[in-house]
Structure 1
Amino acid sequence: MEIHQLIGYGLAVLVGISLGLIGSGGSILSVPILVYVMGIQPVLAAAYSLFVVGVSALVSGFQKAKDGLVDFKKVFAFGIPTLIAVFFTRKVIVPSLPEIIKITDRFSLSKRELIMAVFALVMIMASWKMIRPMKEGQTLKSVNSLTISLVGLGIGLVAGFVGAGGGFLIVPALLFLANTPIKKAIGTSLFIVALQSLIGFLGDITQQPIDYPLMLTFTGCSMLGVAIGNRLSKVISGEKMKTIFGYFVLCMGIYILIKEIWFSA
């Protein structure tokens, strides 16, 4: 095993810690680790990420459920639209993208650059959600079920395109749109992330050559992190960790955007 793989597997523990602690951020970490440390192409890294995050989030979700921190009614009501959107995106949209995407007459992006650029922008937007304080019980005006379903579809499209589980978007949506306390929003989000990520991965099985030993080893390391994250969540304020993680995501998103767009121009 090469040194960069050992580093990558070590960093995979952080993926699980993030999921166990704040219910999101798994793909924000796993995709860059797989691409920049493990040397995997972004499209394939996105597929691996869906599996890693899906399994890790499911394990963490069951642990949260034991503590009564999962609203299963909202798992299905909010999660079904995201499942549909993720599967369609991974099965139809991503494979149909050309290798070179022309933006203007003088500027074009490869599929790799486009995926990583979109991922970076999503990270920057997500960081704003995580940095902003969310007080338990804070809500916006009530919205109808159609609006919540449309939000779920939008999250699923983003998640499927960049290989992100979408927890960093689902948690605020559950908190503000569905009037869910922050701790229960995190636990509920984990099941939604797990379902949509694993369904998204099924759409990739016939599209990508899968290195199962690498993917399963990475997943095992992430699950170790889940156990650590869940334990930490009982003694450390999730809101405080969410804010710190938000700044980390902001810096990483800016770095990827500059690296993929500025230096490739």
Structure 2
Amino acid sequence: MSILTIVAGMATGLLLGILGSGGSIITMPALMYLVGVAPKSAIAMSLGIVAVTASIAAVQHWRKGNVSVPVALVFSLFGAAGTFVGAKVGVVMPTFLQLGLFAVIMYLAAYRMLRPTQNAPVGAESVLSSANGAVVGQGLDVAKLMPIALHGVIVGSLTGMVGVGGGFLIVPALVLLSGLTMKQAVGTSLAVVSVQSMTGFAGYAGAVAMDYTLMGAFAAVAIAGGIVGGVISHRVPPAKLKKTFAVFLLVVASYIVFREILAV
């Protein structure tokens, strides 16, 4: 791998470890534009790389008590179904539509990261705590689980179609729908991302060509970054990192759009 590819792999792991998101958004363009992998193969390979990296980072957070297993199971179960279907759609979906949707998601992610954090409205805390209690085992209220399940299906479908793990959508959803703290949301998001990415990879397996040697090398570097990210996630405030990453997303998304317009 080139130096730039190694840097991209390290950045993938760091972002997953610190923010619980952002891995696929770096991995897929890196495979396409730095290594020259075909778009559909890059999508499939990025899902496999992120699945491994996120799994290891999730274990780190679980050991620190930052993974809500019941919430992760509900989100992952429905998300995996959406991801597998999305992957099958992605196999036959025109490449320019996949890349266009990928760019739109990157713009959305940048917007969410640049938007000022808003505090929950008065009275919301008790509602969120109630929802979280229902998920953890106090009755498993179906009405309170439905929004989590629905969000899982939507995010999972996007994951399968364009290779985005969806962590930047999962983290705020977990905070708002499940009442988890930010640290718990990041850890739980990693568990969900690992399951969804693995399912998406399975959906592409056998349908597109993949370089498993390159995947293994990229994943090894990303895993190292994920371990470092998991260690420093409790020590470094993510606000500045999020803003820097948002600017990076805007640049890469614009580059993808520019490339696709020139290709028309």
Deviation by residue 1:163-202 (Cα, 9 ceiling, x = unmatched): 1111011001111122111111000000000011011111
* Residues matched between the structures, number: 247
* 2:115 matches 1:132: yes
After the TM superposition, which segments of 4 or more aligned residues of structure 1 sit over 6 Å from their partners? 140-143
- SS for the counterpart of 1:177 is helix
- Segments of 5+ residues of structure 2 without an aligned counterpart are 129-142
2-structure distance, mates of 1:172, 1:182: 8
How far apart, in 2, do the equivalents of 1:228 and 1:137 lie? 31
Match of 2:211 in 1: 211
Residue equivalent to 2:77: 80
Map 1:183-198 to 2 at 5 A.
183-198=183-198
Aligned pair 1:118/2:101, yes or no? Answer: yes
Q: Which has the higher helix share?
A: 2
Provide the residue aligned with 1:94 in structure 2.
90
Normalised to the residue count of structure 2, the TM-score between the two structures is 0.87
Task: Label 1:135 to 1:231 Cα distance change in 2 as closer, same or farther (>3 A).
Answer: farther
* Aligned-partner Cα distance in 2 for 1:16–1:201: 18
Q: Structure 1, residues 52-75: CA drift from partner, whole Å, max 9, x if none? A: 101000000100111111111100
Q: CA deviation at 1:20?
A: 0.7
Deviates more, 1:47-56 or 1:9-18: 9-18
Matching residue's letter, 1:51: G
Distance 1:207 1:232 in 2: 38
Q: Indicate if the aligned counterparts of 1:134 and 1:239 stay in contact, CA closer than 8 A.
A: no
Which runs of no fewer than 5 residues in structure 1 stay unpaired?
A: 98-110
TM-superposed CA distance for 1:82, in Å, is: 0.8
2:260 equivalent to 1:264: no
- 1:35 aligned residue: 32
Instruction: Output the CA distance in 1 between the equivalents of 2:228 and 2:234.
Output: 10
Q: CA deviation at 1:6?
A: 4.0
Q: How far does residue 131 in structure 1 lie from its aligned partner after superposition? A: 1.7
SS in 1 for 2:263: coil
Q: Report deviation, 1:113.
A: 2.0
Report the counterpart of residue 46 of structure 2 in structure 1: 49
User: Aligned pair in 2 of structure 1 residues 182, 137: CA closer, same or farther (>3 Å)?
Assistant: farther
Q: Compute the TM-score of the two structures, normalised by the length of structure 1.
A: 0.87
| Paired amino acid for 1:86 | T
Deviation sequence 1:112-162 (CA, Å, 0-9, x none): 322111100001011111222336767697683223222111111111111
Contact 2:68 2:184 in 1 (8 A): yes
SS of the residue 2:102 aligns to: helix
How far residue 238 of structure 1 moved from its aligned partner, in angstroms, is: 2.3
CA contact (8 A) 1:133 1:243 kept: no
The answer as to whether partners of 2:90 and 2:98 remain within 8 angstroms in 1 is no
Secondary structure of residue in 2 paired with 1:144: helix
Name the SS of the counterpart of 1:113 in structure 2. Answer: helix
The change in CA–CA distance for 1:172 and 1:87 in structure 2 (over 3 A counts) is same
Q: Secondary structure at the match of 1:203?
A: helix
Q: Percent identity?
A: 33
Displacement of 1:257: 1.7
Matched letter for residue 247 of structure 2: Y
Q: CA–CA distance in 1 between the matches of 2:255 and 2:156? A: 25
Are 1:136 and 1:181, in contact at CA under 8 Å, matched by a contact in 2?
A: no
Distance in 2 separating the partners of 1:80 and 1:28: 23
